[in-house]
A and B are shown apart, each in its own frame.
Chain A
Amino acid sequence: MNKRKAVPDKSICVACGVCALQCPRKAISIHKGCFAVVDNEKCVGCGLCKKACPADAIVIES
């Protein structure tokens, strides 16, 4: 089974933290104010973060 997961692009990420607020599983954290990091163990690939991201820095990959 393919597991879908969110993959943030840290070169585009502005570290605003909207994704982290939206994540229902608290799988995203902002690494030292630089970019978003997704915990692949927790991420279920629901895409709520992608929908909220103002910089389009997140893609859902499977």
Chain B
Amino acid sequence: MTNKNIKQKETKRKILKRKRPWYEYLWIWSIVYFALGFFNILFAWLGMIDFILPLIFAVAGGNKWFCNHMCGRGQLFWVLGRNLKCSRGKSAPKWMASKWFRYGFLAFFMTMFGSMVFQTYQVFAGAGSLGKAIKLFWTFKVPWKWAYTNSVFPDWVAQFGFGFYSLMLTSTLIGLIVMALYKERTWCTFCPMGTMTQGICKLKNKE
């Protein structure tokens, strides 16, 4: 073998053996999250991490480092879509990445989030009772009563859990559908968190 060949082989080995940082495995977290919420809905609260962290990165750092490196959901779509070949890999329709759809979806998502918080408030205020069910696509009620019996927390805590879990599951399902139909991470084009953090970054960058 020539010297050049040996050198090439060495580089190849280095590339293959590149140590992956821990945050490249966060797709596992996405799966673990839904598994935990299946057994106890209080774990749904952990999803707030995925809401707050990107905002901290955007507001404090002015970047989308969370989306770019840490988003477990995006990674999951990549693992399923590219590595396990569950995606057609076709281009998504143009309107899906358009401004009006992105901001429209963000507005819709925030409205739904708000109504979920209001429902939680009603349980807190005693005007509503705890519904042990999750709602898929904001429409279909699925009984989920095994995930909660009683805890040291008041009922509204669990109500928020059910509501938040519904939101996370619904958005992941939408993401999985567009992953299968179009590109692996098509969800990213209209992900409300992505739209929000990019908006914040653009505002910050203007100054």
Contacts and interface: CB of A to CB of B under 8 A. Distances in A.
A and B, one complex?
Answer: yes
Interface of A: 12, 14-18, 20-21, 30, 32-34, 51-57
14 contacts: A14-B102, A14-B198, A15-B68, A16-B74, A16-B185, A18-B184, A21-B69, A30-B68, A32-B63, A32-B201, A33-B58, A34-B198, A55-B97, A56-B94
A29 B32 CA distance: 30
**What DSSP secondary structure best describes chain A's contact surface?**
loop
A57 B99 CA distance: 13
Contacts, number: 83
B156 interface: no
Interface of B: 57-58, 62-65, 67-69, 74, 78, 82, 89, 91-92, 94, 97, 102, 182-189, 191, 194-195, 197-198, 200-202, 204-205
A15 B198 contact: yes
Contacts of A14: 97, 102, 188-189, 194-195, 198
Contact of B62 (A33, A53, A54): A33
B185 A54 contact: yes
Contacts of A51: 89
A17 B194 CA distance: 11
Given A15-B201, A34-B198, A55-B189, 11 more contacts: A14-B194, A15-B68, A15-B198, A18-B78, A32-B62, A33-B57, A33-B197, A33-B201, A52-B184, A54-B184, A55-B92
